[in-house]
Every structure is written in structure tokens, then in C-alpha cells.
Amino acid sequence: MEEKLFVIAIGGTGMRCLESFVHLCAIGMFDNKEIEILTLDTDQANGNMGRTWNLINTYNQVKSENGSQDGGTPNTNTFFSSKLNIFKFFINYSNAQRNTYKNISKLGEGDERTNRHNEMISDLFLEKETVQEFNLVHGYRAQTHLGSHLMYHGILEAARKIRKGGELGKPEIDLKEFLAKLQSAGDSARVFVFGSVFGGTGASSIPIIPVAFREAIGIIGNDNEKFDPKKIKFGSTLLTEYFSFTKPNQNQLSEKKNSVIADSSFFPINSQAALQFYQNDPTVQSVYNKMYHIGWPVESKSLLEEKDNNTITGGSTQKNNCHVLELMCAAAAFEFFNTANYEKKDKIEYLFRAIKYENGIFELTSPDFVGSEKGDVFLNKLGAFLSFAHIVLSKNEGGNGLLGTKGFITQLDKNNIKDYNTITDDETKRIDEYLKLFAYSFSSENLFEQGWIYQIRNSILPGNFLFNKDAFKDSLKELRNLDVGNLFLDNKHNWKSSIIKSRYDTFITKLTKEGKPELNQNVNSTKEKFLAHIHNGIMISQNFIKK
């Protein structure tokens, strides 16, 4: 039975892990797969979430035929080879009646005896002046006990609304469709959950998601059709603290709505407590199959740029740079989805991998991410996509606002390969846009802006990240003259050159002579064929031995 893949990304960190996951899909690590993705948050305006939605939207535009929004079809052995279906659910805390625990729980709205009991039980678990009254619009602010309670009931509340019928909002419709897919997949579902264990929303939600979904499916459908999380393969990351941010100041804390602000100096303690919880909680133990323990062994870097000295609690300004650990989390999902035929066990399995750290420097190699068996596959695909990005953004100046992909198609046209002339300018712009999000771009003021892979590499500096330092140039002049076939640390994977032919010339020769898409790549549209053609040309040039 073919397994159905589901990804759930929760909270700001979960969104950034999802970002890395989507880029793994773009490089072709999840060949021929259709993946259902649910983003789950409380902060509708969260910058990280917006960035991830934009990324998936651009991915789907790249895959769709012009004018369509269907996200294309799964392909094999090419770029953008997976089909991604995105569902967005968030719990709305934006209106005044629902913006604090106190308001949602309607404490003080019953008779005197009920009120007294409600208040007593609330006060027992949740600090009265702070936890019960801070503004929830930016998430649960590291108050995981509150978060788990509210997230669980938020999902059930949405399920009841769905059951009731009538006009549903987009979040409820998306949740309904996602749960329907999960239910119909039944035991063949593999579900991977991205989120941190040290923060707020992710940490609150990871433990309760499988059970909350079971209850929600029960409410929406009927008891006989309930799905059983104990039979479904659930995996997740146990992602402990790896970044810090400015400590909240007294001025900020004195505001009622900000009476609780996550303090990153407590993240190590939060992580420790969470790990103890995951180790001991019977529900987590019974529903999750595999948990990937991912952490940062050295002092966490501050990833935020807080210009006004206030802690950013969420919202559109929360756009943290990506970190190599998020790529590790995406690689964990790769392992989880690609483990063949494992049976659900009674007990959770914890996995981790050690990486080389010497003299204050990380030396990351491709097997550190995906294991030694798949290490070359990962390096080959990531290197190919990085070369593709530099062909479009650097060689053809797409990163600097020109039509990079269009320029490359023009070059093919001049080489009498006219198959791709029907791809419209608008379609080529979407490809440029995706590659900018992947690698880099220049702003209208000519300022360099790092994309995903540059941010990942920066997070481990001064250590090495798979490619040589030339692959990460950041000045316009250097990028224009970049040798796009000379990115690997191991020279045998750099494109060949000779006295009369540059590496790029050799690549174009191979592309035109040997790179034509093949039937088994399952590419149908002109754009898919174009992407497969470039993919093949680069793959041949990189000279990895096929495994």
C-alpha cells in the first residue's frame, strides 16, 4: 500500500523547518511524492509564517501551468519533483473577546458558584495577573501548559463549528480538508510534525496534536470513522534551544498585554523540562513512533535584529533568519518518510546524530544530514540546485532584477533549442522568484539580501557548509563573474573545463547534447521539461556516480 505523506508545521520555528523542507522538495529529495502540508499557528501575521506561505505559493506557481494554480504533478529525478498541497489553520485570537485566556474561558460570566470554581481551577494552573491575561495574538509565549490547553480546545472548537455546518472560514475549511485526507489515508499515513520544544506554540502543540486530531475527526464524522493515532506513524523533532533574542525590558513587561514575554535565557530550562516530559508522558510515548533529537551544542546566536531594544513577540516583524538546525529537522523528515517498511512499535524511538566540531568550528558533510547512504544523493541534488540558482541569478543576473530564467531560455534559443520559447515571461519570473528565496537577491537599493541557503551557511560560520566559499559570494561584481560550475569542495564534482572551454561552456555543451528530458522523468508541461533539461545537464556535469 502506497504511503501518504503529511507534514504539520507549528509555530515560528516549525515554519522555518517547513521552509527547509520545501527547499528539499525543490532540489528533488522527495521525488514523485504528493505531500499534504498543514501550517498551524495562532499568530496570523507572523513574519516567518508569511514567508513560508509565500515560499510554498511560489513553489506551486513554478509547478503550475500558466494561468493554473493546481501545483502541477509529481515528477521523478528533476527539480520541484514533489507536489505540495498546503492547508492553513490558525486559531483566531485577534478580537477583543478572544484575546486572553480569561476572555476565551469566559471567567466571570456564569453564576457565582460556577465562577468561583472556574477561577479557582484556573488560578491553580495559570498565574492570574499574567498568564491568564496576556494577549494571545502573538502565540503562547513559552507558556506551554496554557498553550496545550488552548490549542487542543481550539482544534475541537473548529471541529464543532465544521460539524454544525453553515458558513465556514478559510481556516476551518482547510482543517476539514486536511483531516479528511488524513482520515482517508488511515494506517497508510506517515505524519511528521515540525516545531520546537523550548518555545510556545510548537512546544504546546506537539504533544496534543495526534489526540486533538483524533477527537476532531470524531466530532466532524462519526465514532466508527475515527482514526487511531496509535496505528498511524507519527514522527517529530525534539528541537531544543538554538537561538536567543533580546531580554524583555521592564517597560515592555509593564504593559498588560505583554505581561508575559518569552525570555530566551530560560530556553535551556524549558528544553530540559520538555525532554523530561516527552520521556515520561504516556500519550506522547504511545502515539509518536520516532523523535529526532536535534540541538545546538554551543552558545546560541542571537538571530534577531531588534532595533528598538524591545523583544519581538511575534507579528509581521518576526522574520528570523534560517538556521542549519532547521535543515537538520527537514532532513529528519526525509529519514522518517524514506525508512522503508518499518512497523509501528509500542515504544517511541529517539534518534540523534553527532557532528564534527573541532577548534570552535563545525565541519558539516552531507552524511551529517541524511546518513552515509544518501549523503552523495543529497550533495548532488543540493549542489545542482545551487548551480541552477547561480546560473539564473548570477550568470544571467536574475538576482539583480533582470529576467534570469528568460535570459537562459534565450541562450538555449540561440543554440537552436527552441522547445522552451513558449514559456511566458511571467512563468520565468516565478522561477526567478523561487531561486531568489533559495539563494539571494538584491533590493531596489542594490543591497544584498540573503536567501535560505546563504542564511543556513551563515548560521555555522566560520565552519564549512558543503560547498566552497566562492559559492556564497555576495557582491554584485563577484557574482557577475562567478564560475557557476566551481562550487564543490571536492574538485571532481566541479564541471570540467579545458584550454578552449570554460566550465560553463562545457555545461552548455552537455546540456544541449545529452540533457534532454527522458520519459521516466514523468514531465509533461513545457516548464517541467525545461526544469528537467537543466537538471539533467547539471547532473551530468557534476559527475556523481549514480547509486
Partner 1 sequence: MELTFFPAIVVALAILLLAAIISNLIQYEGGINPKDDNKRRLVFWIFAILNPVLYWLLAYFYLAPDPEESRRAYNRFVEVIPTDMLIGVISYIIVGIIASKIFQTGKLGHWFPKKNNK
- Options 411, 464, 468, 526; binder of partner 1; rule CB under 8 A: 411
Looking at residues 492 to 531 of the shown chain, list those that interact with partner 1 (rule: CB under 8 A).
Answer: 500-502, 504-505, 508-509, 512-513
CB of 496 to partner 1, least distance (A): 15
Among 289, 380, 396, 521, binds partner 1 (CB under 8 A): 396
Which residue, 349 or 514, has its beta carbon nearer to partner 1?
514
* Range 52-71, binding partner 1 (CB under 8 A): none
Does 381 sit near partner 1 (CB under 8 A)? Answer: no
Minimal CA–CA distance to 61: which of 434, 404, 375?
A: 434
Q: What number of chain residues touch partner 1 (CB under 8 A)?
A: 29
Residues 6+ apart with CB under 8 A from 411: 396, 508
What 3-state class would DSSP assign to 6?
strand
Q: Is 86 helix (H, G, I), strand (E, B) or coil?
A: strand
Please report how close the Cβ of residue 490 comes to partner 1 at its closest, in angstroms.
25
Q: Does residue 197 belong to the site contacting partner 1 (CB under 8 A)? A: no
Question: Is 231 among the residues that bind partner 1 (CB under 8 A)?
Answer: no
**H or E element that contains 40:** strand 34-41
Contact status: 477 vs partner 1 (CB under 8 A): no
Residue closer to partner 1 by CB (options 143, 396) is: 396
Whether the Cβ atoms of residue 103 and residue 96 lie closer than 8 Å to each other:
yes
C-alpha 112/C-alpha 19 separation (Å) is: 49
Residue closer to partner 1 by CB (options 94, 512) is 512
Whether 99 contacts 42, CB under 8 Å: no
**Smallest separation (angstroms) from partner 1 to the CB of 392:** 9
Q: Per residue, what are the HEC states of 111-168?
A: CHHHHHHHHHHHHHHCCCCCCCCCCHHHCCCCCHHHHHHHHHHHHHHHHHHHHHCCCC
Residue 439, C-alpha cell as written in the block: 539563494
Does residue 466 contact residue 366 with C-beta atoms inside 8 Å?
Answer: yes
- Pick between residue 295 and residue 407 the one whose CB is nearest to partner 1: 407
Asked if 417 touches partner 1 (CB under 8 A), the answer is: yes
Helices (H), ranges, 236-281: 250-253, 267-280
Residue 397 makes contact with partner 1 by CB under 8 A:
yes
**Interacting residue with partner 1 among 95, 416, 446, 491 (CB under 8 A):** 416
SS3 (DSSP) at 195: coil
CA 263 – CA 397 distance, rounded (Å): 42
Residue number with CB closer to partner 1 (273 or 540)? 540
Q: Is 370 in the site for partner 1 (CB under 8 A)?
A: no
Q: How far is the CB of 534 from partner 1 (least distance, A)?
A: 14
Q: Which of 415, 424, 524, 543 binds partner 1 (CB under 8 A)?
A: 415
Binding mask 319-358 for partner 1 (x = CB under 8 A): ----------------------------------------
Phi/psi of residue 84, nearest 5 degrees: -110, 130
* Residue (127 or 483) nearer to partner 1, CB: 483
**Residue 279 makes contact with partner 1 by CB under 8 A:** no
Q: Smallest distance from the beta carbon of 421 to partner 1, in angstroms?
A: 6
Interior/surface letters 462-481, b for 16+ CB within 10 angstroms, e for the rest: ebbbbbeeebbbeeeeebee
Task: For the CB of residue 510, give the shortest distance to partner 1 in the complex, in Å.
Answer: 11
Closest to partner 1 by CB, 376 or 397: 397
Using the minimum distance from each CB to partner 1, give the nearer residue, 416 or 444: 416
Among 160, 170, 230, 418, which residue sits at the site for partner 1 (rule: CB under 8 A)?
A: 418
Find the binder of partner 1 among 410, 464, 468, 526 (CB under 8 A).
410
Query: Are 450 and 321 spatial neighbours (Cβ–Cβ below 8 Å)?
Result: yes
Q: Which strands, in side-by-side order, build the sheet including 83-90?
A: 83-90, 34-41, 4-10, 189-194, 233-239, 288-294, 349-351
Residues 156-185 within binding reach of partner 1 (CB under 8 A) = none
Q: Which of 403, 466, 534, 538 binds partner 1 (CB under 8 A)?
A: 403
Q: Which residues, in sequence order, are CB contacts of 5 under 8 Å at separation 6+?
A: 30, 33, 34, 35, 36, 190, 192, 337
Give the C-alpha separation, 451 to 456, whole Å.
Answer: 9
**Range in contact with partner 1 (rule: CB under 8 A) among 91-99, 151-159, 389-397, 439-447:** 389-397
CB 191 within 8 A of CB 182: yes
Q: Which is nearer to partner 1, 338 or 411 (CB)?
A: 411
Q: Which residues bind partner 1 (CB under 8 A)?
A: 391, 394-397, 402-403, 406-408, 410-411, 413-418, 421-422, 500-502, 504-505, 508-509, 512-513
